[in-house]
Structure 1
Amino acid sequence: MSEYIRSLRQHLGHTPLLQVGASVIVINEAGQMLMQQRTDCGSWGYAGGSVELGESVEQTAERELFEETGLKAKKLELLGVYSGEKMQYTYPNGDKVSNVDIVYTCHEYTGELKMQASEVSQLKFIDICDLPEDIFPPNRPAIEDYINKNKI
């Protein structure tokens, strides 16, 4: 959780918040998608998080990718901006959000996989046709969009 969101939660509790985030779908040379299992709810998704005050969405995407996976993006390509009803979510702790997620794809990166233990319980590249069924709901629209745009 970003410091900005954390400070808002101290004042507003579980009240629904409009939350702007940036995320990265990483694809390796074999065409596999990097997936991480979340520690908060156990579902699977991609790296991403909330934009901090004064931070660009590109900076957020790069920071979150490195923090959660140990990878550094060499090149980000905009996949899309996702918002609306499908992006509303209630976290296991009761926090409610309406997400606006700017999602990038990344095929060029450096580094070794190293998961952020506080947020990620598993981190692995998975064949697109074998993605887990338990996808983090706010990540599902972008994953489906990626698959449809790439005719997988």
Structure 2
Amino acid sequence: MRKLIGTKPLLICGAGVLFFDEAGRVLMLQRSDNHCWCFPGGTMDLGEQLEQTARREALEETGLTVQEMTLFGVFSGKGMHYVYPHGDEVYVVDAIFTCNRYEGTVQLNDESINYAFFEIDRLPDEISPPVRPIVQEVVKRFGKSQEQESVH
């Protein structure tokens, strides 16, 4: 497709996974292309279901096998616009799943240079642009300040 349209904007569909450990921390990966942090995920293959995309991308990028996942939300719109460092421009429609049950140990592929499990209220500042709307929703739903507000 890129051979036909070059770097012009494409609408792409993808899926990702929010992996939570026993302490409620969320897994983030530091990308090798822009050095920003993101959640495991990627673009759908032709004929693939969103759930399959999420599981495949999670395994490829982290070495973790999803045992059970739940839809967190679908993200789209201007906040999901991104221009990759090499110039390709995309508007992403991203289905994000949560996962508390998984197997394996984290093993990164070449798309990432680092990983960490972060407390929700201590996420890194350097977030990859199309991940920012997802991070905002994660903090809104799971952050400690949200828990305190719901108690009052």
Normalized against structure 2, the TM-score is what?
0.92
Say if 2:15 and 2:95, in contact at 8 Å, map to a contact too. Answer: yes
SS of the residue aligned with 1:37? strand
Matching of residue 89 in structure 1 with residue 89 in structure 2:
no
**Contact between 2:120 and 2:142, CA under 8 Å: does it hold in 1?**
no
- Cα deviation for residue 149 of structure 1 reads 1.6
Q: Shift in Å at residue 141 of structure 1?
A: 1.1
Give the whole-Å Cα distance in 1 for the aligned partners of 2:53 and 2:59.
10
Tell me by how many angstroms 1:91 deviates. Answer: 0.6
| Residue of structure 1 equivalent to 2:26 | 33
Q: Deviations over 1:46-72 (max 9, x none)?
A: 000000001100000000000000101
Q: What TM-score results when the alignment is normalised by the length of structure 1? A: 0.92
How far, CA to CA, are the matches of 1:148 and 1:61 in structure 2? Answer: 22
Gaps of at least 5 residues in structure 2 are 145-152
The answer to whether the aligner puts 1:122 opposite 2:122 as a matched pair is no
Identity rate, percent: 42
Tell me which residue corresponds to 2:148.
none
Instruction: State yes or no: 1:131 paired with 2:123.
Output: yes
Corresponding letter in the other structure for 2:27: L
Counterpart position of 1:5: none
The offset of 1:150, in angstroms, is 2.3
2:147 corresponding residue in structure 1: none
Moved over 6 A (4+): none
CA distance in 2 between counterparts of 1:134 and 1:126 reads 13
Whether 1:62 aligns to 2:75 is no
CA contact (8 A) 2:25 2:120 kept: yes
Q: Output the CA distance in 2 between the equivalents of 1:138 and 1:69.
A: 19
Aligned length: 144
Residue deviations 1:12-42, cap 9 Å, x none? 1101000100011111111111010001111
What are structure 1's unaligned runs of at least 5 residues? 1-7
| Post-superposition offset of 1:129 | 2.1
